[in-house]
Amino acid sequence: MKSQTFAKLFSTAVIGFFCIDLLGNIRAQTVPEMSQKPPVPPNSVRLSVDTPLEEIYEYQEFFKDINNQPQVQLASPKTAYLWQHMSRILRTAMILRDGQISELPVKIDPAVGALKFEHKQKGKETLNEHFAKYPMDAAIVIHKGTIVHETYKTMRPFDKHNWFSSGKVIPSTLIALLEEEGKVDVKKPVSFYITELKGSNWDTVSVLEALNMSTGLDSTEHDEPMDDSRTNPERGWFQWAVSLGLFPDVKQRNQTPFQVLGQMQRRKPGNTAFEYNSINTWVLEIIVERVSGKPLNEFFGDRIWRKIGAQSDAYVAVTPDGYPLTFGMVSSNLRDLARFGLIFSPSWNKVSKKRIVSNRLLNKIQRGGNPAIFAKGHFGQELLGIVYDKKLSNSYQWDVVFQDGDFYKEGVGGQGLYVSPSRDLVIAWFSTGKNGELGVARAIATSSIFSRDRR
C-alpha cells in the first residue's frame, strides 16, 4: 500500500501550517510528560475540530460506496481527515489499555530539529524543514526513554492516526512471542496452523517465509506484471482484498479469503526474493488467533498494549466476518506508537515492568534476514533508493534491517517506526503523503547527536 502521487500537491497546502514544537523552549529541566499540557496555538490546523461537518459527511458518503474504498490508501484531503478517524468508515475492534500510564520524561533538544543532513532524494534539509515542507502530521524522537523532539501539525497529541502497514509488526511480534513459548514452530508450513489451506501451495510455505515476505508465491502486492495488483480484478491480491470486503467484487466471484489463498501458485522457490505482500501478514494474524484462541486485538492487548502503559485505547479494523486487519488498519496516538517501539529498545523498562521483547527476538530481527534477496523485489529496490546504505535486509515483517542493527517499518502514505537498539533511540511519525521519511530517520539516527553515546 504505497502512495506518492498526491504528496507534492498536498504539501503545498501544509507549508503554511503552524508547526507545534512541544516544549521547545525548555531544555535545562526534564519534566514528566503528563505534567505538561502544551497549548495548541489558534492558527494551527487540527483536522479533528477544524474540518466542517458537511465535509465529514461528504467524505463518509464517498467511502460508503465500495467502488471508492480502494482510494482510502491514497493521500488526499478526504484521507487527511479520515486517516485520523478510520473508525468513521470501518468496523473496528478495540485494543484496550489498562493500568497506570507510563510517563515519558520530556527534555526537548532543539539540535534534533535543527540537524542538517543530506537527504538522498531531497538534498540538504533539516528535520524541521522537512516537517514544514511536506505533509507530515506528527513526529517524535525518544532517546534513552526521554522525548527529545516532538511536533504536531494537523493533529492534537491525543488524536489517533492510522499506522497502515507499520501495524504489520504487531502480528509478527506476537508470532515471535508464541514461538518463544513453543506454541508456534516457524519452520512448519502455514497450512499446519490454518487447516483451510491444506492441499494448497501453502503446504510448501513455512511460517518463517511468510514472516520474511519470501514465500515465492504469486498474488504479490507490487511484483505482478504491470504492478497492477490493486487495480486489476484478475490479480490474486485484488481478489483477496475483495474477499475481505475492502474492494468491490466486480467479477461477482463471492469467494472467501481462504478460497483465494488456496488458488495462489508457486512462482519461484521460497526465500529467494523479498516480495512485499499484506497477504503474508494476514496469514500471520490468523495463526495468532488460532494458536492463542483469542481475537488478535484481545491477545495484543493482553500481551503488549496493557503492559506498556499506553495513554489511550487503540483500535484495529475488522472485516464483516470479524477477521483482523492489523496489516494496515491500526490506529493510536503518536506517543503510544512510540511506546510500542520502545519495547524493542534498551529503554523497554520505561514503559513495562517486565521485558516483552527478548534479546533472542531482537537477534532474529537484526540477524535473521537475507541481504542477498532484498533487492530482488520491487519494494526492496525502492527502499534502497531512499538511503545511502547498500547492504540491507528484511526480517519478521520489518521492512529494513541495517547492518548496524537498526530496523524500520513503513506504512502507506508515510507512516513510520524506526528503532535503533544500539543508540537506544525510537523515531515515529504520521504523514499524509510519503516523502522519503526513512532517509530523514536514518540521518537522525546516524548523526553525531546520537552516535556519540552509542552503546
Q: Got the DSSP string for 224-266?
A: SGGG-TTT-TTSHHHHHHHHTTSS--TT-----HHHHHHT--B
H-type alpha helices, 43-168: 47-50, 53-64, 77-82, 110-114, 127-133
Residue 44, pLDDT score: 63
Are the CB atoms for 445 and 408 separated by under 8 Å?
no
The helix/strand/coil state of 113 is helix
Domain assignment present for 191: no
Domain assignment present for 40: yes
Give phi and psi for 389, each to the nearest 5. -60, 140
Domain assignment present for 227: no
Using CB atoms within 10 Å of the CB of residue 248, give its burial: 0 to 12 exposed, 13 to 18 middle, 19+ buried: middle
Q: What angle do CA 117, 123, 128 make, to 5 degrees?
A: 55
Domain assignment present for 252: no
Residue 33, pLDDT score: 53
Residue 179 CA: distances (Å) to CA of 172, 221, 277, 326, 409: 10, 27, 22, 19, 21
Residue 84 domain boundaries: 7-173+290-451
Domain assignment present for 198: no
Alpha-carbon span 187 to 148, nearest angstrom: 41
Q: How far is CA 64 from the centre of its chain?
A: 25
Residue 451, pLDDT score: 78
Are the CB atoms for 276 and 378 separated by under 8 Å?
yes
The helix/strand/coil state of 307 is helix
Which of 105, 144, 111 minimizes the C-alpha distance to 454? 144
User: How many folded domains does the chain comprise?
Assistant: 1
Which residues of the chain are under the pLDDT cut of 70?
1-44, 452-455
Residue 200 CA: distances (Å) to CA of 75, 188, 192, 210: 37, 15, 11, 15
Domain assignment present for 196: no
Domain assignment present for 361: yes
Q: What is the CATH number for 379? A: 3.40.710.10
Q: Which three cell numbers stand for residue 329?
A: 488498519
Q: What is the largest CA-CA distance in the chain?
A: 64
Alpha-carbon span 252 to 338, nearest angstrom: 42
Helix and strand element counts for the chain (H, E):
19, 16
Domain assignment present for 231: no
**Which DSSP string do the residues of 193-212 spell out, in sequence order?**
H-GGGTTSGGGG-BHHHHHT
